């Protein structure tokens, strides 16, 4: 019983088991109570009927004895019979009433001669002596001051041999009434004991039936349902490897097998979708530009690794289900269409594509200039059954585009330098070899050829000068190394400016160099630093169309190297200073430019850990300052 009760307590926590137990015990309890009540009423009626029959038999025997004694007029014998009967166990009192209700004989002497009309009323309410019933009656009586009684009323009929004293049977059908009172307590107690025994037996039967039914349901229904419920919960949270043990050949087994088949199909479908998703993710990750897909609720459905890098996010998975306006502009609400270009509001069937510029704002406060190409991607239906359209955006980092353009330019310069080396450098080298051979021949002769040797040496110097120029041009057009190297800043500045000497002299621009005597060095790509100096110096030339002075200063201080490029040109207006480093922004004085020079310069400076800023900007004086980490100071710190 304890194990059963403990099992009941455990499964009571489960909804289905609790409902089944409540239903089972409720139905069995109601049926048992109904049967017990019905059986109790039948048993009580049967018990009372049996007692009535027994009392009527005793009363009939007593009546026969009384009639015999009355016919013999043996009154003392009659009194003795009544007294002995009243002394019997279970008999409360015996009385003989005449038709008027007077007690003529009684087992209790104090009742003799008294009126018992109330007893007659109990026997036959409202009856007169002439119409008293002649059939015996038995009832349970509750006296006002006493315990419950079983009272038997047995009328004594008026027979022919009695009519001499009692008159005719028509006027007096009943000579008297024999009243016998039995104690009802023992009868009730016996009935109650029998009922209690029946209740106990019924409870045991109900408990046994409930236990058997519960075991059957627990074994063949509740436990399989519980396993299915646990497996369903695990499946709902994404555990597609869950399976339900299958044993037997009943309906629950078929249900478990169907669940396992469904789980296998789901796992297979999930694996297929996952492999396709990985393929799609790998496909868009291979695109160098940022790619993102936005639904009609402004949520990012998918993004690639390039866009995650552009937005400053660790991985593309973190961008999913985020709002596009939060990622792009750090807003908490959608962008107003009147202030920003929103493809979700612009694109439609008539205009399926769109191209615009966008300034992407990262969480760390930095900005990224991008070019966005958006296209409308119609979808048949969404998850909720409504038609939906997705927007696919290709986001291009303009700095990388500029860097790519710069690399293309360097590649073109490299091809040009290679052509120059082939077309100029090699013939000049051949000429130099011929001059050296001529010089040796002249040395071997003993003739006076000093003037000829002077001319030959002059030609050799000019050839060496041409070779030096070609070498500088080749350095400027060489591809950047993937690993930084120690670059002497003063040497790079002097060699780069020497290539621009002819252009500077043609524009009547003087040159002033204040290079640091400590010969500072930085870690960078040699040709990148040459391109930085070239762009700044050419911008200075464009700002001085009527001539001026170019001043380049280098300083080594505070663990860094500063390069200052200053000109006496027209200056930079205050209203355009915030935009001079933006891509494709150009305000050249002499002609329309591409707007990429300063953008490329800033990109290269940042690539090597440096900074660039406008120190002064006024008509007659403009200065750019470059700051790079000092390679020699870094080496000393590491040592």
pLDDT one-digit tens code per residue, 474-493: 555 555 555 678 899 999 99
* Spatial distance between the Cα atoms of 353 and 355, rounded to a whole number of angstroms: 7
**Confidence bin at 9 (pLDDT 50/70/90):** very low
Listed residue (290, 305, 284) closest to 360, CA to CA: 290
* Most confident range, picked from 20-24, 433-437, 607-611: 607-611
pLDDT at 5: 44
Q: How far apart are CA 490 and CA 521, in angstroms?
A: 8
pLDDT at 8: 44
pLDDT of residue 54: 55
Opening angle at CA 383, ends 381 and 389, nearest 5 = 45
Using only C-alpha atoms, what is the Rg of the chain?
61
Closest CA to 377 of 413, 353, 341: 353
| Structure-model confidence comparison of residues 60 and 309, the more confident one | 309
- Are 528 and 479 a contacting pair, CB within 8 Å? no
Residue 56: the pLDDT is 57
Question: Given this model, what pLDDT does residue 13 score?
Answer: 44
- Intrachain domains 43-189 and 287-479 with the same fold: yes
Model confidence pLDDT, tens digit, residues 394-449: 998 877 766 655 555 655 555 555 555 555 666 677 777 767 777 777 776 666 56
Please tell me the predicted confidence (pLDDT) of residue 270: 87
User: What confidence score (pLDDT) does residue 611 get?
Assistant: 92
Q: Mean pLDDT throughout 95-117?
A: 78
CATH number of 483-639: 3.30.565.10
Tell whether pTM > 0.85. no
Is the model more confident about 209 or about 407?
Answer: 209
Q: Which of 194, 157, 244 is nearest to 50 (CA)?
A: 194
pLDDT at residue 549 in the model: 93
Q: How far apart are CA 485 and CA 198, in angstroms?
A: 106
For residue 287, the tally of other CB atoms under 10 A from its CB is 13
Q: Are 44 and 191 in contact (CB under 8 A)?
A: yes
Q: Which of 207-211, 519-523, 534-538 has the lowest mean pLDDT?
A: 207-211
Of the candidates 172, 178, 183, the residue with the CA atom closest to the CA atom of residue 65? 178
pLDDT at 4: 42
Question: What is the spatial distance between Cα 198 and Cα 175, in angstroms, rounded to a whole number?
Answer: 45
Question: Domain residues of the chain, as ranges?
Answer: 43-189, 287-479, 483-639
Tell me how long the chain is: 639
Return the beta strands (E) in 73-195 as ranges: 91-98, 103-106, 137-141, 149-157, 174-183
Helix (H) or strand (E) holding 563, with range, is: strand 560-567
Q: What is the mean pLDDT of residues 612-638?
A: 83
Q: What is the secondary structure of 224-251 as a DSSP string?
A: HHHHHHHHHHHHHTT-TT------SSSH
CB 238: neighbour CB atoms within 10 A?
9
In this predicted structure, what is the pLDDT of residue 240?
A: 83
The CATH fold of domain 287-479? Beta-Lactamase (3.30.450)
Question: Is the confidence at residue 344, as pLDDT, over 80?
Answer: yes
Least confident of 134-138, 315-319, 377-381, 386-390: 377-381
Angle CA 347–350–355, to nearest 5:
45
Higher-pLDDT residue of 486 and 468 is: 486
- Residues 331-348: what's their mean pLDDT? 85
539-549 mean pLDDT = 88
CB-count burial class (<10 Å; 0-12, 13-18, 19+) for 517: exposed
Q: What average pLDDT does the structure give for the chain?
A: 76
Q: What percent of the chain has pLDDT over 90?
A: 11
pLDDT per residue as tens digits for the range 483-519: 678 899 999 998 888 878 878 888 899 999 999 999 9
Residue 26: pLDDT band with limits 50, 70, 90: confident
43-189, what's its fold? Beta-Lactamase (3.30.450)
């Amino acid at each position: 019983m304890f194990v059963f009760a403990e099992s009941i307590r455990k499964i009571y926590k489960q909804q289905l088991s609790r409902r089944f137990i409540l239903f089972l015990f409720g139905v069995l309890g109601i049926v048992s109570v109904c049967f017990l009540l019905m059986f109790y009423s039948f048993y009580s009626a049967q018990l009372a009927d049996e007692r009535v029959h027994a009392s009527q038999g005793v009363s009939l025997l007593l009546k026969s004895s009384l009639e015999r004694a009355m016919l013999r007029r043996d009154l003392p014998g009659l009194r003795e019979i009544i007294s002995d009967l009243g002394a019997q166990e279970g008999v409360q009192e015996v009385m003989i009433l005449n038709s008027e209700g007077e007690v003529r004989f009684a087992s209790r002497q104090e009742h003799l001669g008294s009126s018992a009309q109330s007893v007659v009323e109990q026997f036959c309410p409202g009856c007169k002596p002439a119409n008293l019933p002649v059939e015996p009656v038995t009832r349970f009586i509750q006296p006002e001051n006493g315990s419950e009684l079983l009272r038997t009323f047995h009328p004594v009929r008026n027979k022919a041999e009695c009519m001499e004293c009692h008159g005719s049977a028509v006027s007096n059908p009943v000579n008297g009434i024999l009243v016998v009172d039995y104690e009802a307590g023992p009868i009730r107690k016996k009935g109650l004991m029998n009922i209690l025994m029946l209740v106990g037996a019924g409870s045991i039967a109900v408990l046994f039936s409930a236990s058997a039914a519960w075991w059957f349901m627990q074994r063949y229904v509740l436990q399989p349902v519980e396993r299915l419920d646990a497996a369903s919960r695990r499946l709902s949270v994404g555990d597609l490897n869950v399976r339900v043990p299958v044993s037997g050949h009943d309906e629950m087994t078929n249900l478990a097998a169907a669940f396992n088949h469904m789980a296998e199909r789901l796992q297979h479908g999930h694996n297929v979708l996952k492999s396709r998703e990985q393929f799609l993710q790998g496909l868009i990750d291979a695109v160098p530009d940022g790619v993102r897909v936005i639904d009609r609720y402004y949520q990012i459905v998918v993004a690639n690794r390039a866009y995650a890098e552009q937005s400053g996010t660790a991985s593309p998975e973190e961008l999913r289900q985020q709002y596009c306006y939060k990622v792009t502009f750090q807003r908490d609400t959608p962008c107003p269409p009147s202030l920003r270009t929103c493809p979700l509001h612009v694109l439609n069937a008539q205009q399926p594509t769109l191209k615009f510029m966008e300034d992407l704002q990262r969480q760390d406060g930095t900005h990224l200039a991008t070019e966005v190409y958006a296209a409308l991607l119609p979808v048949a239906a969404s998850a909720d059954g409504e038609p939906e359209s997705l927007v696919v955006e290709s986001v291009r980092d303009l700095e990388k585009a500029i860097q790519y353009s710069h690399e293309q330019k360097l590649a073109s310069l490299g091809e040009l330098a290679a052509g120059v080396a082939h077309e100029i450098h090699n013939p000049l080298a051949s000429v130099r070899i011929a001059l050296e051979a001529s010089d040796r021949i002249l040395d071997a002769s003993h003739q006076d050829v000093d003037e000829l040797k002077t001319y030959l040496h002059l030609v050799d110097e000019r050839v060496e000068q041409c070779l030096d120029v070609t070498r500088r041009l080749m350095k400027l057009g060489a591809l950047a190394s993937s690993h930084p190297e120690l670059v002497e800043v003063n040497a790079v500045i002097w060699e780069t400016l020497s290539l621009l000497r002819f252009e500077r002299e043609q524009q009547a621009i003087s040159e002033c160099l204040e290079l640091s005597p400590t010969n500072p060095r930085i870690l960078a790509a040699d040709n990148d630093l040459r391109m930085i100096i070239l762009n700044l110096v050419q911008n200075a030339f464009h700002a001085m169309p009527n001539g001026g002075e170019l001043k380049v200063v280098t300083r080594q201080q505070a663990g860094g190297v500063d390069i200052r490029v200053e000109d006496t040109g027209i200056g930079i207006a205050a209203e355009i200073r915030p935009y001079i480093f933006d891509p494709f922004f150009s305000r050249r004085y002499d002609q329309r430019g591409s707007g990429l020079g300063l953008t490329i310069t800033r990109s290269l400076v940042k690539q090597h850990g440096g900074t660039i800023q406008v120190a002064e900007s006024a008509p007659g004086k403009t200065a750019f300052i470059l700051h790079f980490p000092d390679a020699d100071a870094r080496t000393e710190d590491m040592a």
